[in-house]
Amino acid sequence: MTQFQEVMRQQLESSMHVELEKLLSTAKGADAEVSKKDFEGFRKIFHRFLQVKGPSVEWAKINRPPEDSIQPYDKIKVKGIPDNIADSLNKLVVVKLNGGLGTSMGCKGPKSLISVRNENTFLDLTVQQIEHLNKTYNADVPLVLMNSFNTDEDTKKILQKYTHHRVKIHTFNQSRYPRINKESLLPVATDMGMTGENADVWYPPGHGDIYASFYNSGLLEQLIAEGKEYIFVSNIDNLGATVDLCILNHLVSQPNGKRCEFIMEVTDKTRADVKGGTLIQYDGKLRLLEIAQVPKAHVDEFKSVTKFKIFNTNNLWISLSAIQRLQEQNAMDMEIIVNPKTIDGGLNVIQLETAVGAAIKCFDNALGINVPRSRFLPVKTTSDLLLVMSNLYSLEAGSLTMSERREFPTTPHVKLGSSFTKVQEYISRFESIPDMLELDHLTVSGDVTFGKHVSLKGTVIIIANHGDRIDIPAGSMLENKIVSGNLRILDH
């Protein structure tokens, strides 16, 4: 950094400090203390953002992870589950990342409250899974939800319905950071309010914020005092992320000197996952490499399924005492993700975020476990929703498992067009969910509806041209068919 750049950086930091103090002076009551802690975290990330320029990795220094640093799941499963697994369960806390809204699927409110199967929401299924564990093993696994200011109020209202379930539920909130004007690099907010013109000037800073906000909430300390040792963290919309007793047993049975503080579940990449973060060896440490960190010249190489064979599912097992230690030592080091946005009125802003998995390099004896694809079942779109609502999966005690009647281990490739993007529209287009047990590929585009008891097999492509409508009659069986325009059914 040149002397001029250093002077500019100091001036920017100083201006930011002044603006944050002005904002804090408008905070009221208990909010003031919370906001103060949030802003401490924001100052740190802003300081690092001003210092780091260019990609955060040198491509030439990237190595493949050593053989033993990513274990195949089968090797861990072979050990089996000991009789005293309840002791291990009593050391575990399940944490679900619950900061997201259902806006991408046309829903208002928290994504976790969208119905995904038999009227059950993501949150219902999560509670059922943990309650089943607690009853089966006479254990006490609590559920912790990391909410954001977008989801906290609605989530807390709904939690009352679980008061008689055998699951203790705790919540804490992600930090609230100010969006930054892309030109001036100063906050857009004029006060700490969150309504009116201040409605979209704040953001939750990515799931990497879990470490600081969990620590700041006091809940981390409380759980350690209760004898809890590990958290299992996952996205609430990943229906494959259930508590795996074999991984838990592997974690707690490590000898003292080799205690594993962090396990990342990875799975084999397919062409659909080319943008997913992968594990590399860098400066002698296991590290998560995200596409945003890759120099432009190497993006195609990063997307290669042959060179980088696995990707991060964001199912993570992490030591609570290690989080506490790293927070107290201010040693949590995660790459900054700069996320550009345009807010109402056309103003360009940036938000500085971090990813929870990026902290892997800070923990001792970190490990990747290559798990079956079934542990990665995210529902990001209505195309994903169609899969999990179909007879491809059976539901038991909150867990979805692939039907034994399906002959292939992979799920079909489903692409629903823009007429299906919003959940309400999607639901109105299916009188019942088709039989998809023998389906390989489905593309639907345009104004298409499905009657009851439709069966889809092989490759099915249904395209209604602009202004046309296609109604698939009840009881139809489409196998390797292209249906187009005015309901011509062609063999494919």
Token code pair at residue 397 = 């005690």
For the beta sheet containing 477-484, the strands, ordered from the edge strand earlier in sequence to the opposite edge, are 413-416, 435-445, 455-463, 477-484, 488-491
Q: 487 with 476: CB under 8 angstroms?
A: no
Task: Give the C-alpha separation, 341 to 239, whole Å.
Answer: 29
Contacts of 460 (CB under 8 A, 6+ apart): 439, 441, 442, 443, 478, 479, 480, 481, 482, 483, 492
3 state DSSP class of 243: coil
Whether residue 341 contacts residue 198, with contact meaning beta carbons closer than 8 Å, is answered with no
CA torsion, ordered 83, 85, 86, 92, to nearest 10 deg: 180
Four-CA torsion 245, 246, 250, 252, nearest 10 degrees = 10
Residue 316 in 3-state DSSP?
Answer: strand
Active site residue 53: no
Q: Are 109 and 154 in contact (CB under 8 A)?
A: yes
State the DSSP code for 63.
B
Contact (CB, 8 A) for 371 and 315: yes
Catalytic option among 91, 309, 361, 380: 380
Six-digit token string for 418: 């823009």
Specify the amino acid at residue 93.
V
Residue numbers annotated as active site: 380
